[in-house]
Amino acid sequence: MLTRLGLTVSAGAALVAGGATAASANPQAPRAEFGRTDLGAAFAGTGIAVEKSVEGLAPVVKSFKYHPLAATPVDPLNNGARIQPGDFKPVGTQAVTSPVTNRGQVGDLPLVGQALGVLPGN
């Protein structure tokens, strides 16, 4: 029984060694060759990649809530001061702070919200 086991192990080792010898007989890997580079296709592919990336990211950027306490009772920016100097119209801070305190999203800001309009999505 042990003799049979020894012969089996020896035969298996011989097969493994033979395979390793055959694998090392051809050590050079095939060389990669590049064809002509098509710059137009490269730029078109890059444009498509950027477009698809922006398409998925645009709704996240537009609805990003930069002021997490907005529209809550503990919002520290939800205050205002108003003054009426002489006979002029009253001037207050609510016009400036209201876009920030209403929802607190990037799209609510006066100039930034308009600039985000060029991005695709909602």
What is the secondary structure of the chain as a DSSP string? -HHHHHHHHHHHHHHHHHHHHHHHT--PPPPP------HHHHHHHHHHHHHHHHHHHHHHHHT-BS-TTTTSTT-TT----EE--TTSPPEESHHHHHHHHHT-BGGGSHHHHHHGGGSS--
Say yes or no to pLDDT of 16 above 60.
no
Residue 93 is predicted with a pLDDT of 84
Tell me the per-residue pLDDT of 26-61, one tens digit each, with 9 for 90 and over: 667 777 777 788 889 999 999 999 888 888 888 888
Residue 74 is predicted with a pLDDT of 83
Tell me the per-residue pLDDT of 64-107, one tens digit each, with 9 for 90 and over: 888 888 878 888 877 778 899 889 998 888 877 777 777 777 77
pTM over 0.75: no
- Determine phi and psi for 29, rounding to 5 degrees: -85, 155
What is the average pLDDT score of the chain? Answer: 75
CA 45 – CA 33 distance, rounded (Å): 21
Q: Name the band, by pLDDT with cuts 50, 70 and 90, for residue 108.
A: confident
- What is the sign of the dihedral through the CA atoms of 83, 88, 90 and 95? negative
Say yes or no to pLDDT of 14 above 60.
no
Task: Give, in degrees to the nearest 5, the angle at Cα 46 between 45 and 47.
Answer: 90
